[in-house]
Amino acid sequence: MAVLCFPALTLNYLGQGALVLADPKALENPFFLLYPDWAQLPMVVLATVASVIAARRSSPAHIR
């Protein structure tokens, strides 16, 4: 799982950093400004699902 997640997160954070360097006004919310208007809702859904999965995987009830 880490083989997929680490490169994806690295690319996302580098993209946000490049956006902020190119346009300092994007500093207020680089996540939403990184994607075109049509892709914002799918990206929010994807980020929400990923957060829920990560929270469930890290909960003590999952570890036996």
Report d(CA 47, CA 34) in Å as an integer.
Answer: 14
End-to-end CA distance of the chain: 19
What is the mean predicted confidence (pLDDT) over 18-31?
90
The model carries a pTM of 0.65
CB 26 within 8 A of CB 19: yes
Query: What residue type is assigned to position 6 of the chain?
Result: F
pLDDT at 37 over 70: yes
Higher-confidence residue: 5 or 28?
A: 28
